[in-house]
Amino acid sequence: MKLLKKIDHNILSLLGMYAVVLIAMAILNPSTYYSTLNIKSWIYLFPEYGILTFGMMLCMISGGIDLSLVGIANLVGVVASYMMVNIGGGKECGMGMVIGAIVVGLIIGVLCGAFNGFLIGFLHIPPMLVTLCGLQLYTGIAMIITTGPGITGVPQSYINIANGTIAGIPHTLPLFIIVTLVMSFLLKSTTYGQKVYFLGSNEVASKYSGINNFKVIMTTYMISGFLGAISGILTSSHYGSGKSNYNTSYTLLSLLIVVLGGVHPDGGKGKVIGVTLAIVLLQLISSAFSVLRIDTVITDLVYGLILIAVLVITNIAAKRATKVKTK
């Protein structure tokens, strides 16, 4: 009992959801759901939106939000593909150009994040407005570069980034683990992480305590843009092309994961372990819907309902906690 009390209630809730999904699929369609092929598909897919979700998590802990992440990811994928196809020679593109395209893509992600951070931290424009406009801006730039259709013909070495394996393990899994560990270290073991939590808890108190809020906001959105860029590289590698409208559902998905993972919508609270568990949980749910042949429209509807339900429960729990403290 003492051990259960020490464990975060949110973690226990997530583990309970894991049990429900896994037991339900063991009854409904175990042969397909637990097949080696299906399990491998989980490992290939969740790092794409998982890494992007960590960017959303960081911004929300700071008291903001980043709705532009999908736009950043697609812009990075388009620019990288354009460089390899139109400058590097397409399928004959050398490794030097592939690395160069990736580096340029990552820099673009950081610059997009810096642009968002400047508008939010210096001009004090609400994060939701800035990043929503940013989503349209970055998507629009990607559309101009592609002139509509996707950019195809990238080299196999680039495609192998998201589709290749090491000793049977997809490249994306160790990358996801590295990002997870780095994010955990940043938030738990650095002064920057402490400042992010403080900023999210009370922006005014953070300012008067001597913290440079603008610097923290800029850093936060630049890291978010960098993570969005990594996701964009993985996505364009996975599909073998750059396109302006890949993974449009990831915005809702990342929001759902972050809130489900225990990040408070108003900021100041959240753990990497909770978000990581939620990332994998959503992959299990998505795979279950796919195996059961549930339409994607219904899937999005269910995700939306889950997000609303979690927000309502979080709000009620916060109000109850406040009442208990005031007694």
| The three-state (H, E, C) secondary structure of the chain, written as one string | CHHHHHCCHHHHHHHHHHHHHHHHHHHHCHHHHCCHHHHHHHHHHHHHHHHHHHHHHHHHHCCCCCCCHHHHHHHHHHHHHHHHHHHCCHHHCCHHHHHHHHHHHHHHHHHHHHHHHHHHHCCCCCHHHHHHHHHHHHHHHHHHHHCCCCEECCCHHHHHHHHCEECCEECHHHHHHHHHHHHHHHHHHCHHHHHHHHHHHCHHHHHHCCCCHHHHHHHHHHHHHHHHHHHHHHHHHHHCEECCCCCCCHHHHHHHHHHHCCCCCCCCCCCHHHHHHHHHHHHHHHHHHHHCCCCHHHHHHHHHHHHHHHHHHHHHHHHHHHHHHHC
The pLDDT score that the predictor gives to residue 313 is: 80
Among 147-151, 181-185, 249-253, whose mean pLDDT is lowest?
147-151
| Structure confidence at residue 309 as a pLDDT band (50, 70, 90) | confident
Window from 55-59, 119-123, 302-306 with minimum mean pLDDT: 302-306
- Average pLDDT over the chain reads 92
Question: Residue 103: pLDDT above 50?
Answer: yes
**Above 60 in pLDDT, residue 148?**
yes
Dist CA 174 CA 171 (whole Å)? 6
Smallest CA-to-CA distance from 64 within 51, 72, 55 is with 55
**Would you say 216 and 64 are in contact if contact means Cβ atoms under 8 Å apart?**
no
Q: What domains are defined for the chain?
A: 12-25+37-326 (1.10.3470)
The pLDDT of residue 6 is above 70: no
- Please, are residues 247 and 235 in contact by the beta-carbon 8 Å criterion? yes
pLDDT at 1: 46
Average pLDDT over residues 66-94: 95
pLDDT digits (tens, 9 = 90+) for 188-223: 999 999 999 999 999 999 999 999 999 999 999 999
Q: What is the pLDDT of residue 326?
A: 60
pLDDT at 4 over 60: no
Digit-coded pLDDT (tens) for 287-297? 999 999 998 88
Residue 310: band (very low, low, confident or very high) from pLDDT cuts 50, 70, 90:
confident
Assess whether pLDDT exceeds 60 at residue 316: yes
Rounded Cα gap, residues 76 and 233, in angstroms:
7
The confidence score (pLDDT) of residue 3 equals 46
pLDDT at 49 over 90: yes
Indicate whether 317 pLDDT > 80: no
Identify the pLDDT of residue 323. Answer: 65
For the entire predicted model, the pTM comes to 0.93
Please report which confidence band the pLDDT of residue 321 belongs to, taking 50, 70 and 90 as the band edges. low
C-alpha to C-alpha distance for 311 and 33, rounded to whole angstroms: 30
